[in-house]
Each structure stands twice: as C-alpha cells, then as structure tokens.
Structure 1
Amino acid sequence: MLGLILIYFIGKRFYDLADEHNENKWLYAILGVVIYYAAGFVVGILIGVLDLFVFYWGIDWDNTFKVNLLIGLPSGLISVYGFYILLEKKWKKKVMVNTAEIDDIGRSPEENI
C-alpha cells in the first residue's frame, strides 16, 4: 500500500513539472515511475553481482523486504530526484516565445498598436 502512495507522489511531481513547462504531462509522470523502478532494478542487480562474485557482504537475499527497503527505495528515490532536477534545469533554459510576438516581426511599431 505504501508503494502505491509513493508511486502516486512521484507521478504527481513529474506531472506538475511537465504542466508548468507545457510538456507532455502523462509521459513524464509515467517516465518518473519507470525510472524509480528501473534504478532499483539496476542497483539491485549490481549489488547482487558484486555480492556473489567480487565481495561477500553476506546479504540475506531471502528477506526481500529488507533488501527492497535498503537497496531499492534509496536508489530509486535518488535517481528520480536527479532526473527531476535534470528536467527542471533543462526546461528552465528553454525560452518560451509568444506566437503573437512572432507575427509582429517586420511590422512597424505603429502597426502593432
């Protein structure tokens, strides 16, 4: 149940960010949730491979709640936060051009009034 609440708030933040910058709202809401799960998956696989072949950390892989809580949740949230900041900076740099101003190019100032 808590996972559904987390998914809702991740999607909501990306939805609102995309709405502020006139981007595709649902695409970025779903993409935020996908990045959360993908980052947890990649970090989980990476730690599993490192535990099995390189180091022996003695992680209890049978206790999935602890593994998800200690590995999946932080890695997913950090990656979602990084992606959010990246999109926010990218979209703030984008200049919004008013189409009414584009239509006035080449006209004298007296004609624009």
Structure 2
Amino acid sequence: MLGLVLLYWIGKYYYKLAEKYNRSRWGFAILGIATYYFGIIFFGLIIAVILEILAPVFLENLNELAFSLLSLPLGIFSTYSLYKLIEKRWEQKYVIQEPQEFPESY
C-alpha cells in the first residue's frame, strides 16, 4: 500500500513539471514511475554484486524486506536526480511567462 502512495507522488510531481512546461503530462508521469523501478533494479544489482564479492554469505541470509528497504532510497534517488535534470534543462530552454498585472489606472 505504501508503495502505491509513493508511485502516486512520483507520478504527480512529474505530471506537474510537464504541465508547467507544456509537455506530455501522462508521458512524463509514466517516465517518473519507470525511472523509480529502473533505479531499484539497476542499483539493486550493483549492490548485490558488491555484497556478493565482499561477503558471499550475506545475501543468502538477508531478509527480502531488508533488501527492499535498502533499495527504496536508491529508487527515490534516481527519480529525484532525473526530475532535477529535466527541470534544470527546461528552465534553461523555456522562459515561463507570468501573467502581467494591469496598471491601477484601468
């Protein structure tokens, strides 16, 4: 259940970012969720290989819940990194026009 809430918030932030810069909102919401899963898989494999080299028996005795909790911050990190990268590139490329205020003489 908590995983679904996390996916909702990831999708929501990417959706809002794409909406702000007039991009495909649902496409970027799905991109954010896919990035989260990719980060978990990619960094999880890297950690598993390193742990297998350093302590071969450690992974066999590691609980599945503990490994999931270990990979959770890595997925969030990859999602946040991509979000900031996209935001920075779009800020440089696009100028957001703020609504102009009318003078008080009207």
TM-score by length of 2: 0.81
Aligned to 1:47: 47
Unaligned runs of at least 5 residues, structure 1: 99-113
Unaligned runs of at least 5 residues, structure 2: 98-106
SS across alignment from 2:15: helix
Aligned length: 96
| Aligned counterparts of 2:33 and 2:60: Cα–Cα separation in 1 | 27
| Aligned Cα root-mean-square deviation (Å) | 2.0
Aligned to 1:26: 26
Query: Conserved in 2, the CA contact under 8 Å of 1:35 and 1:79?
Result: yes
1:59 positional shift: 3.7
CA deviations on 1:49-88 (whole Å, 9 max, x unpaired) are 2222x21172455511110111x21001111111111011
Query: Conserved in 2, the CA contact under 8 Å of 1:39 and 1:76?
Result: yes
Map 1:70-81 → 2, pairs under 5 A: 70=70, 72-81=71-80
Aligned to 2:91: 92
Aligned to 1:68: 68
Q: Percent identity?
A: 39
Aligned to 2:5: 5
Name the structure, 1 or 2, with higher relative contact order (CA <8 Å, separation 6+): 2
After the TM superposition, which parts of structure 1 deviate over 6 Å for at least 4 consecutive aligned residues?
none
TM-score by length of 1: 0.77
Query: Conserved in 2, the CA contact under 8 Å of 1:51 and 1:59?
Result: yes
Query: Conserved in 1, the CA contact under 8 Å of 2:16 and 2:25?
Result: yes
